[in-house]
Amino acid sequence: MKIEFFSKVYGVADTYPILNAKDIIPNWVQEARMDYIKSDKRDLHIFKCPGIIDVLTAGFVVTAWHDTDIESTPDKMTITIPDVGLNELLDKRGNTTQLQTAQGVAKYLPKRPWSQKSIVKINTPWHVLAPRNVKFMFIPLPYTDQFLFESTIGILDPGISSEVNVQGYWNVDYGKHTIKAGTPLCQIIPLTEKQYLMICRDMNSRDELWLKKRKFLDNFSFVLQRNKLKEAYYKHIKS
């Protein structure tokens, strides 16, 4: 009964791992708790709201695995990372951080009036191994005080893609800003009521074998063969 996250870039699991959401509760919650302790317990208080507290402690939080500078002007957005060697470590098509342009993938997605028209995609080295039929809901960080990067919402079926990548709105008009390594990016919640042990680690030899198989399964056909991907994925996690 476990959910495993493994990083194919060695060292990330030690420095900027995926975290249990309950371990990084926003500071305002503790302040609200202290205020509640001093208050008349019969009064309405935000600390007594189970819906808010429960979502803050659900699932896991993905953090940035390296610094990223993003500069936006009236004409374009520019992304800079500390070293191009990070792209080689990731061993993925494109760069570690990409733009889903307003003329391309992001064309029809509704945006906040104050957000850039292009979507920022942060590719991470993480993959997830989960029991059959466990999917993950990606949501923005709930009730956060960080507003630069706001994760989009979606569902990850690891049987089809075990990659953990984060797409989000860039809520800045113009200027240059940095997403620092370790910055929480999004929350991912298993769509199940069962309790699982979360393991976060470096890639091992079995994981490496899975990634080699997955590379073939992703590319052998002009149309993604989802059933074959799922069959291979669940065979891997069961063996």
Q: How confident is the model over 163-214, as pLDDT tens digits?
A: 999 999 999 888 999 999 999 999 999 999 899 999 999 999 999 999 999 9
Q: Where are the beta strands (DSSP E) in the chain?
A: 2-7, 19-20, 60-63, 68-72, 77-80, 97-100, 119-129, 136-139, 149-151, 154-156, 163-170, 175-179, 184-190, 197-202
Range of the domain at 133: 2-203
* Amino acid 40: pLDDT: 78
Dump pLDDT digits (tens) for 48-90. 888 898 999 999 999 999 999 999 988 889 999 999 999 999 9
* Amino acid 94: pLDDT: 74
97 in a structural domain = yes
51 in a structural domain = yes
Distance CA 182, CA 19 (A): 10
223 in a structural domain = no
Task: Provide the mean pLDDT of the chain.
Answer: 92
Dump pLDDT digits (tens) for 20-45. 999 999 999 999 989 988 887 777 88
Q: How many domains does the chain have?
A: 1
Length of the chain: 239
Quick one: DSSP state of residue 81?
-
56 in a structural domain = yes
pLDDT at residue 92 greater than cutoff 80? no
239 in a structural domain = no
194 in a structural domain = yes
* Amino acid 38: pLDDT: 87
122 in a structural domain = yes
Residues 6+ apart with CB under 8 A from 52: 46, 142, 143
The pLDDT-based confidence of 5 (bands split at 50, 70, 90) is: very high
Q: What's the whole-model pTM score?
A: 0.91
212 in a structural domain = no
Give the dihedral of Cα atoms 48, 50, 51, 57; nearest 10 deg. 110
Q: How many CA atoms lie within 13 A of 62 on its CB side?
A: 30
* Amino acid 228: pLDDT: 93
CATH of the domain at 75: 2.70.40.10
* Amino acid 41: pLDDT: 74
